A = this chain, B = another copy of it.
Amino acid sequence: MLRLSKLADYAVVVLVRLSHHGGEVTTSPTLAQATGVPEPTVAKVLKALCAAGLVASQRGARGGYRLARPLHAIPVAAVIVAIDGPISLTACVDGATGGCEAQETCPVRGRWDPVNEAIRAALTRITLDQMDLPSCGGVRDFDKADRPGMMPGAAILAAE
């Protein structure tokens, strides 16, 4: 399984989209329309990204958001961390207060660490500019955009 949260997926979509607007401040309604993601959700994502310092916000009328750094300076890991928190496979690893019931029996205690590290490294290595489709450079607007279906990324790290 190993699923990625939808929100994180949306975040990537929004960020990439935002990059298409150059350094211009863009409102969340605008981004919502452009991406097809419901506006309240876009707003939620942007707030989290803003808190994480990935985007900068301009309040008040004529406000909006813009990228705080270029796409190539934003690793996927940063986005995921901003939306979903620290990247690790098991709760055992980080904090893990409350301890483990099978703390004594568990044969792999703390052994997910290398796995976590590997994934973390992989996600840090890939930046957002690598996720922007070169084939559809800039803004891409198809004939129409209102067919039923699913959202942007679906976000299931495993399908099954």
A interface residues, Cβ below 8 angstroms from B: 1-5, 8-9, 12-13, 16-17, 20, 34-37, 76, 80, 83-96, 98-112, 114-115, 118-119, 121-123, 125-126, 130-133, 136, 140-145, 147-160
Assess whether B153 is in contact with A90, with CB atoms less than 8 Å apart. yes
Residues from chain B with a CB closer than 8 A to the CB of A126 are 114-115, 118
Closest to A120 in B: B122
Asked whether, in the complex, the Cβ of B104 is within 8 Å of the Cβ of A144, the reply is yes
- A contact patch SS: loop
**Cross-chain contact A115 with B107 (CB below 8 angstroms):** no
Enumerate 15 A-B pairs (CB-CB under 8 Å) in ascending A order.
A2-B2, A13-B108, A36-B101, A36-B106, A76-B115, A80-B158, A90-B154, A91-B159, A101-B148, A104-B141, A105-B145, A108-B152, A111-B131, A114-B130, A114-B131
A45–B101 Cα gap in the complex (Å)? 19
Q: Nearest-CB distance from A102 to chain B (Å)?
A: 3
B118 touches A84 (CB 8 A): no
* A112/B153 in contact, CB under 8 A: yes
